[in-house]
Structures are given as structure tokens and as C-alpha cells.
A and B are shown apart, each in its own frame.
Chain A
Amino acid sequence: MITPALVAQHGLSPAEYEKILSILGREPNLEELGVFSVMWSEHCSYKNSRLELRKFPTSGEKVLVKAGEENAGVIDIGDGWAVAFKIESHNHPSAVEPFQGAATGVGGIIRDIFTMGARPVFLLNSLRFGPIDGDSQRARDNRHLFSGVVAGIGHYGNSIGVPTIGGEVYFDPSYNGNPLVNAFCLGILRHEQIARGAAQGIGNPIFYVGAETGRDGLAGAAFASRELTEESKADRPAVQVGDPFREKLLLEACLELLATGCVAGIQDMGAAGLTCSTCETASRGGTGVEIDLNLVPKRSADLTSYELLLSESQERMLVIVKKGEEATLQRIFEKWELPYALIGHVTDDGKMRVKRGDRVIVDIPARVLADEAPLYQPEAALLKQPLPLDLTTLREADPITALHQLLAYPSIASKQWVWRQYDHTVQTGTVVPPGSDAAVFYVREAKKFLAATSDCNALYCSLDPYEGAKIAMAEAARNLACSGARPIGATDNLNFGNPHKPEIFMELRAAIEGISEGCRAFNIPVTGGNVSLYNESQLSAIDPTPTVALVGLIEKQEEITTQYFKEPGDIIFLLGEFGSELGGSHYLLISHGRKEGLPPRINFAHEKAIHEELLALIQGGFVQSAHDCSEGGLAVALAEACFGNSNKTDTRLLGASIDLGRRDIRSDVALFNESQSRIIFSTPAHKAPEVEKKLQSSGLPFSRLGVVTQQEELIIELDQKTYNWQTKILYHSWSTAIPQMMNRLN
């Protein structure tokens, strides 16, 4: 008997329940109610965001598989090779159980990639936490979450042997109690290897492969579509437990199986497990699916049908094999010592039919369930433009202290503590390891250099989500340009609060529009991604965090560029304006405790012209190093360029002697403004005149700033004043900040 209370417990509205009644023409049973509840959760159906997501540009001549078609988009990279990549969140599980929550986030995104027939080659991650400094209980909780998430990501990626080569971590009180864990994976494949998640061929056998089903992760998709409360800890059973060894076996077995050509369709069991994989494959194939739960490998015999359908146990896949090829699957899965079972077959009636022995438990039209979830257009508030910063109310902080403070602030400080815990050298392809603007990976089999980065300054987004999202795109593309790459595609992870609050839905809409505009400007498609809503704890909603990850191609090995100054005597240029925008800056936040003002504006045409000019200089062999100006502005960018590559044991600190000339502006504005479209790069002294000539003829704003020095000092002259920092001491502030916070007892 389905009561209104039971319907509400399943997160379904009365109107949604009415729709279920009309689809079935009868009352659902408990199992069917559970199936609808997970399939129509935000996590699976995108019911609150799908109408907005249609604004993303998703096509292009290099697009082989479009966003939303399959588990991940696929982009052509030439010579018959392609990449599949995607970012996905595991925020809610990580808030409740950081280690397993993050680990299974990595496991899930890796499965999404090899489901496409691609071999996963590298990982990135984008993380957000509340502040980790101080003795408060909240800071301790945040440290617990931070260390657990990082260890969990490492545990999974290191064991399965996919290198984690980059990412980003920011800290802000808005993430107290609701950390963000977004994991990205990229895989490589030949065009002809693209696998589809469709149940094709009536009568084809359906196999369950991989780990046995248990009670872990019960209805996790529905859990992820609620706000976090104090009681969420009781939801710990909704967090899955990861087994990277099993996934390694599953990955190898699936790729070996796909290579035989006997697979008609393949789909991972991620969110909503068996339910989602069966009805989605049927829907995509325009077919039906019939399975028997008695045949599903189980960890415990007493699992109910409801539990079997909604479990999110990890490391499981659904494989539809061409009839007559059953023995091939058996041979391969026996070699890899993995459970497998023939659980059903493809039918022609368009139904998702689940039986337990002879008893029919679920009988629902698959396409309606998978693709016709109710769609909502929640009410959106009007986009408010923040007030510009009134500089007269702002005391000019001492620049010497301010730079130290900025570099020691965890969002800007060295993240070596984090990526030391990730194996970034396995698979011998990491050419530029974590720490530079973008990571660069050599895909040996394809002989291609790929660059990748993830970015989002949520401080900007909290003040102006539209401009903030545009800047996330611009900065990601700029990071690629600084590494010598041109972007080929984007994937996004939209992390927001409760969409039924009009101001939050407005943020979501604005961010989607901002990212879309960026994609059009750089002429790249969104290849897929993820929406994570209801990121609210009892305290507040998170700052809107539309994280974007961009993938780029570098044409030649000689064009790979890093952010670190190389040789004393090299000339330093600024490509772009000096800038003056201090609104939403980290200087304002850190030195003055103010999270306000109008964030920088972005002009994509100008931004793109800057990238093209830099790439032309890189291709001409003029550029020794290139680094974008982002959080902390010019001064932080210069300091970071002096620090060298902290991956290398023989890295030496360098200095820089900079003359900004007469600008007649406040020192804090000159040094720490975060105006966009700015890159500092260095060039050998003998090439500087030619660089200057080229820049002049480009018509773009630029300045010759100074010279790289042997002496470990950063000297900046401005309006006849000299500011002087010891790079060793700056480096100390920057490199020890996070370890010092994390090494305290709790």
C-alpha cells in the first residue's frame, strides 16, 4: 500500500506521483516507487537543470559523441585517435564519509570513461572545503574532511594506476559542512573503439559483471539530491565503499572484452545501479530489457528486491553481448577472476521488466522512466549586479605583508601536500606534473601531448555568477595557452545550492549562460558534465561553483611551456593591461576580510587575441615560461614564477627585478588587482627585441617588466618606491602554509 507519507519519503511530489499513476495505469508497488524515485531524482534526471543545460553548445566537427548521448563525450584528436573525458561530483557522500566518498567518486568517473571503450589515462580533481586553520571544531572538521578526501582520491587512483596530474583546491566558509569533490577522468581510444550504452539486438543476452551487490550506497542518487542536515550522518549507509583492485580487474576485463567486438552495449552501474543501467540501455536502444534478480551475484542472500534494485555497490557493469558470444565473455571474466552472471535478455516490448524467479516485480516503460522525468523551470530571481568597490573606504595595506599573507592563504599556497599523495608519475606520460598552470600528459600510443586544467573562482561567482562563470572559462583557456595548448573541449561540474530558491536558480542559469558564452568564444563544445544541486548545510548554501575543466592539444614537444622562470637574465613581459580591478579579489578578502565588490569584467575577443599571440610566440620559440595572473594578481604571479618547479629536487629559487614605472595608482591596486586577460612570460635576452617588435605589431597591450635574476629577491619598483621581498621567505610562506595547518594535532 503506497501512502502519501511513503511517496514523500521517496522524495517524490504529489504531482510526480500522479504522473506515475498515469504512466502505469495502476498503483506502483514499493519496488517500482523506489525505481521512479531514483530515476527521477535530480542526480539522474536533471529535472531542475535540463532545460537550462540545453543552452550549452555541444556540437562541433571534432565531436564524435555528444554530451548527454552516452556516459561521456568523445572528441577527435587526429590520426584516428579520440579522447573521452568528463567531470563528476561526489559532494554529498564526501561530506558524510570523506575517504570512501571521494574514493568512489574517482572510481565512478573512471568507469564512465572505460564504459566508452577508452583506456583511462589521467585524472584531475577540483576540491572545495571550509577553512582549515585554527582550533575551532569547525576547522578540525574541515581538516578531517580535507585529509580524508585527499587520501581517498589517492587510495583509488594510485591503486588502479591512473595518474592524478592536476586540479585545484580552494577554501571558503561557504563550504563548511558541504565540501565539493569533483573528479575528472580522460581516456584515450581509437575512433572505431567507441562503445555504446544501448541494449541492442532483440534476444541478446544481458550479463551482470563485476562485484557482487550489497547494501552499500542504497539509493545514493536520491540522497545526493537532498540538502545536508545534522541527520545526514545517519545516511552513512548511502555512501558506497570502493575497491580499486576490483575496478582495475573490471577495467582490464572490459577493455579486453570490448576489443573482441562481441559487445552490443555496455553501461556502468553508477548512480541508481541496476535500475538506471537497465532502463537507460533499453531507452537508448529503443528496446526493452528483462532481468531476473535471483541471478544477480549477491553479497548476502537475504537482499530484498528493493535493495537489489537501488543498491549502488561499486565496480559493477551491465554488458549486452551479441548472441552466441557468451563464451567469450565467460573466458575473459574467468581470467580476471571476476563474478559474472547471465541475468536477462533484450526484448522488443520497450519495458523494463524485473523478475524474481517467476514473479514480475517491476514492469515500467523504459523510455518514459529514463527520459521523461518531469522537467521543471524553477523560479529565478533577477540577477543583481554587485556594487563596485569604493576604494576610498579601503585602507592601503602594506604590500610587503600583503604578499606574504596572500601566498600563505591556503587557496593560493602550494598544494604539494595534496598532490604528493597522488601518484602522478605512473603510466610514464606526465610531462608537466601538478603545480604549473596546466598539467601536460604525453599519450604514448597516440603520440599526442594533451594539456588539462580545471578552474573556478567561486568568489567571483558568489558576487556575479555570470561574469564569474565566464572567467572560469577564460582562466582555464588561459592556463592551457600558458602551457602551449589550444583548447579542444570542455566539461563542467555545476555545484549549487537548492534550485527551488529563486536566487540560487538564478545563479545556476547565469553560470550556464556564462560557460556557454565562453565555449562559443573559444569555439569548443561542452562534452558533458554533471550537475550537483542541494549543496547546502544547516549553515548556508555554498558559493555557486561552476567548475570547468578544459582539455587542450599541444602540437609539438618543444612547445610545452611551464610557469617557472628558467634562466637569470631572461626578460619578463606582461602581455595584457596593468589592470585596476580590485573587486572580488583575494587581496580584498585576505588583507581586509571583505568578500565584496564588482569582480573583474572579461572581454572574450580580447582574451582570445592574447592567447593567440602567446601561442604564436611559443611556437616561434620565444617563450621560456608563461604564467597567468589570477588570484593575488601580478605580484603573486611573479612570486610563483620565481619559485621554480617544486617537483624537482634540484629546483633553484630565482628572483626578479621589475619596474612598473610611473602609474600614479595605489600600490595595492597595481600589485594585487585581478583584471583578466593577463599573462607574464619570459624570453631569452637576445630575443627580447624581436618579441617587443612582434607585440607592437600585434596591437595588443603589453609591457616589458624586467629581468629574471640569480639573486633570490623579488624587487618591484612602482611610482618611485621600491618593494623588496626575499624569495626564500616568500617561498617559505607559500610552501609551508598547508602542511603546517594539517600537521597540527587535529
Chain B
Amino acid sequence: MRAAVLQFPGSNGDTDALIALRSLPGVSADLLWHEETSVKGFDLIVLPGGFSYGDYLRCGAIARFSPIMQAVKESAAEGTFILGICNGFQILCEAKLLPGTLIANRNLLFCCQEQIVRVETDDSPFTKNITSQSLLHLPIAHGEGCYVADEATRAQLNLNHQVLLRYADATGKASKEANPNGSLENIAGICNLERNIFGLMPHPERACEELLGSCDGRGIFESILTMLQDQQ
């Protein structure tokens, strides 16, 4: 697999994503500067965490106008896998590649902690290798991770099984107490209707080795690998 990690000037999770991808067998990963105008030739494009252009206005609001995002849109339309992590998820929503938006956490405080998320379906390229309803322990670290969308949009998301991850407690219940940021319906990650674009607030790339306390993020990257192998 050839993966590209986009590098906006304020990205700070770019190296983390590179390290995680390169730890997988058979994966090559490169950084792509935000002024690039083509993302051709890559199987997976990762929009990493960070503060793309400072994000003083609204997270991702400026990034969506960057030259590279036009190229990402074109590749997405051709079916390339796109993974937006944290700030990357915010950018995908701002760019309208995913529905809904991410607003400030309900208690207005930045929240960094280990978080349990429930995998809602294995019917996606990003969760293919993970048993449906299983629980992943992933770090979250964001100030604006509260997912909101109007009722009709959420109905569509549910109907089409586009919600891939929900915040849950240790018993697997998507309870109010387990919701770290006030996201509607405990939504932690969604994909588009075509299922090739996935955005999530948790950080799977920070949970790919025992040393860091969890390997649960690997499943997401390995699913993409499996999917690509199956396609060949």
C-alpha cells in the first residue's frame, strides 16, 4: 500500500501517522505538503491531527481551501481511501466530504484521555478486520470534537450504517456518561455513503504499539490493507 499523509503547516499528528503506517508490513508512507496539487498514485490519503492553519477561526475552515484539498476531492471521487483523524475529520466535514460538523466540546474544555469506542459495523474498508460491536481503547485529544448534524442527516447516517464508531462505556453501552464531548448520538466517527472516506475524532495512530498502552488502532489500518489486497 502507498499511503500519503498530508502536511498542513499546523499539522502536528503527521509524524505520528507516518510512524504508525510505516510499522505495518508492506506499507510505504510519504508526507505531502499542503501546496501540492496532485495526490495521484496513492491508495490511502491520511489527513492527520493538528491545527492545520492555526484554526483560530473554525477548525478546518481554511484548510478546505488549500490547493491539496482540491486534489483530495478528485481522488475521493475516484474511490481512493481517505482517512481524516481529529483535525482531519474536521477538515473533511468543512470540505463537505462528510456530512455534519464538529463544534466545541460541551464543557468547553480540551479533553485528552483514553476513550472506549464501539465499532458499529465491520462493513467498511476501515473496520473490515474488526468484529462488529467490539470495543477499542483509543486516545482522544481535542477541544472541538462534538459531532452535530440535523435530524435528517443523522437518520440517513444510521439508515446507511455510516456511523462506524460511537463513544461507549466499558460494557459497550453508548451512554451519556461515556460521551466525552457531547456528540449527538455518541458519534465518534462516520464514513460517506460510498464508504471510502472515514473521519474520526479518536487517534488510532497513537494506539499502534504496546509501549503506548494500546494496539487497538492497528485494526483500522490493517482493515484498509486487507481491503486493498482483496481488491487486487
* Residue in chain A with minimal CB distance to B205: A428
Stretch at the interface among B137-145, B156-164, B184-192: B137-145
Question: B141–A158 contact, CB under 8 A?
Answer: yes
* Residue in chain B with minimal CB distance to A422: B112
Interface residues in B191-221 (C-beta closer than 8 Å to A)? 203, 205-206, 211-213
Question: B143–A158 contact, CB under 8 A?
Answer: yes
Alpha-carbon distance between A647 and B137 when the two chains are bound, in angstroms:
11
Interface size on B, residues (CB 8 A): 35
A703 within 8 A of B: no
Q: What A residues does B206 contact at CB under 8 A?
A: 425-426, 428
A650 within 8 A of B: yes
Q: What B residues does A444 contact at CB under 8 A?
A: 19
Alpha-carbon distance between A336 and B54 when the two chains are bound, in angstroms:
13
Given contacts A442-B211, A648-B114, contact A161 B109 (CB under 8 A): no
Alpha-carbon distance between A158 and B50 when the two chains are bound, in angstroms:
8
Alpha-carbon distance between A158 and B113 when the two chains are bound, in angstroms:
13
A245 within 8 A of B: yes
Question: A431–B212 contact, CB under 8 A?
Answer: yes
Indicate which residue in B19, B56, B109, B203 contacts A245 across the interface (CB closer than 8 Å): B56
Interface residues in B66-113 (C-beta closer than 8 Å to A)? 109-113
Question: A245–B10 contact, CB under 8 A?
Answer: yes
* Residue in chain A with minimal CB distance to B9: A249
Q: What B residues does A648 contact at CB under 8 A?
A: 114, 137, 213
B16 within 8 A of A: yes
A423 within 8 A of B: yes
Interface residues in A414-450 (C-beta closer than 8 Å to B)? 419-428, 430-431, 442, 444
Indicate which residue in B19, B54, B113, B211 contacts A420 across the interface (CB closer than 8 Å): B113
Proximity bits, A113-156, B CB within 8 Å = 1, else 0: 00000000000000000000000000000000000000100110
Interface residues in A613-637 (C-beta closer than 8 Å to B)? none
Q: What A residues does B50 contact at CB under 8 A?
A: 161
Q: What A residues does B205 contact at CB under 8 A?
A: 428
Question: B114–A421 contact, CB under 8 A?
Answer: no
Proximity bits, B1-36, A CB within 8 Å = 1, else 0: 000000001111101100110000000000000000
Question: B110–A649 contact, CB under 8 A?
Answer: no
B228 within 8 A of A: no
A159 within 8 A of B: yes
> Closest approach, in angstroms, between the C-beta of B198 and any C-beta of chain A?
20
B115 within 8 A of A: yes
Most A-side CB within 10 Å, residue of B55, B115, B213: B213
B147 within 8 A of A: no
B126 within 8 A of A: no
> Closest approach, in angstroms, between the C-beta of B108 and any C-beta of chain A?
9
* Residue in chain B with minimal CB distance to A150: B109
Given contacts A160-B12, A161-B13, contact A243 B213 (CB under 8 A): no
B155 within 8 A of A: no
B225 within 8 A of A: no
Indicate which residue in A154, A245, A557 contacts B110 across the interface (CB closer than 8 Å): A154
Question: B13–A420 contact, CB under 8 A?
Answer: no
Most A-side CB within 10 Å, residue of B49, B112, B114, B143: B112
B46 within 8 A of A: no
Alpha-carbon distance between A650 and B213 when the two chains are bound, in angstroms:
11
Q: What A residues does B114 contact at CB under 8 A?
A: 647-649
* Residue in chain B with minimal CB distance to A423: B141
A555 within 8 A of B: no
* Residue in chain B with minimal CB distance to A428: B16
Alpha-carbon distance between A336 and B10 when the two chains are bound, in angstroms:
10
Q: Is the interface of B mostly helix, strand, loop or mixed?
A: mixed
> Closest approach, in angstroms, between the C-beta of B207 and any C-beta of chain A?
9
Alpha-carbon distance between A248 and B53 when the two chains are bound, in angstroms:
10
Q: Kindly state the interface size class of chain A when it binds its partner.
A: 35 or more
Q: What B residues does A650 contact at CB under 8 A?
A: 137, 170
Alpha-carbon distance between A423 and B15 when the two chains are bound, in angstroms:
15
Question: B109–A649 contact, CB under 8 A?
Answer: no
Question: A427–B10 contact, CB under 8 A?
Answer: no
> Closest approach, in angstroms, between the C-beta of B104 and any C-beta of chain A?
12
* Residue in chain B with minimal CB distance to A337: B9
Q: What B residues does A337 contact at CB under 8 A?
A: 9
Question: B137–A245 contact, CB under 8 A?
Answer: no
A365 within 8 A of B: no
Q: What B residues does A246 contact at CB under 8 A?
A: 54
> Closest approach, in angstroms, between the C-beta of B43 and any C-beta of chain A?
23
> Closest approach, in angstroms, between the C-beta of B88 and any C-beta of chain A?
14
Question: B12–A426 contact, CB under 8 A?
Answer: yes
Q: What A residues does B170 contact at CB under 8 A?
A: 649-650
Question: A557–B211 contact, CB under 8 A?
Answer: yes
A273 within 8 A of B: no
Interface residues in A214-252 (C-beta closer than 8 Å to B)? 243-246, 248-249, 252
Question: B112–A424 contact, CB under 8 A?
Answer: yes
Q: What B residues does A422 contact at CB under 8 A?
A: 110, 112
Q: What A residues does B56 contact at CB under 8 A?
A: 245
Alpha-carbon distance between A650 and B54 when the two chains are bound, in angstroms:
34
Given contacts A422-B112, A423-B112, contact A161 B211 (CB under 8 A): no
> Closest approach, in angstroms, between the C-beta of A435 and any C-beta of chain B?
11
Question: B211–A431 contact, CB under 8 A?
Answer: yes
Alpha-carbon distance between A420 and B108 when the two chains are bound, in angstroms:
12
> Closest approach, in angstroms, between the C-beta of A527 and any C-beta of chain B?
27
Q: What A residues does B12 contact at CB under 8 A?
A: 159-161, 248, 426-427
Q: What A residues does B213 contact at CB under 8 A?
A: 647-648
> Closest approach, in angstroms, between the C-beta of A120 and any C-beta of chain B?
11
* Residue in chain B with minimal CB distance to A245: B54
Alpha-carbon distance between A553 and B12 when the two chains are bound, in angstroms:
26
Alpha-carbon distance between A428 and B14 when the two chains are bound, in angstroms:
11
Alpha-carbon distance between A643 and B51 when the two chains are bound, in angstroms:
35
B116 within 8 A of A: yes
Alpha-carbon distance between A649 and B205 when the two chains are bound, in angstroms:
18
Question: B110–A425 contact, CB under 8 A?
Answer: no
Question: A245–B212 contact, CB under 8 A?
Answer: no
Alpha-carbon distance between A731 and B206 when the two chains are bound, in angstroms:
28
A161-B11, A420-B110, A424-B112 known, 17 other contacts, Cβ within 8 Å: A155-B110, A159-B54, A161-B50, A244-B54, A246-B54, A420-B111, A421-B109, A421-B112, A425-B203, A428-B19, A428-B20, A444-B19, A647-B113, A648-B114, A648-B137, A650-B137, A650-B170
27 contacts between A and B (CB under 8 A): A154-B143, A158-B112, A159-B51, A160-B12, A161-B12, A161-B13, A161-B50, A245-B55, A245-B56, A248-B10, A248-B12, A248-B51, A249-B9, A336-B9, A420-B109, A420-B112, A423-B112, A426-B141, A426-B206, A427-B12, A428-B205, A431-B211, A431-B212, A444-B19, A649-B115, A649-B116, A650-B137
Sort A-B residue pairs by CB-CB distance and give the 5 closest, nearest first: A161-B12, A245-B54, A423-B141, A425-B139, A159-B51
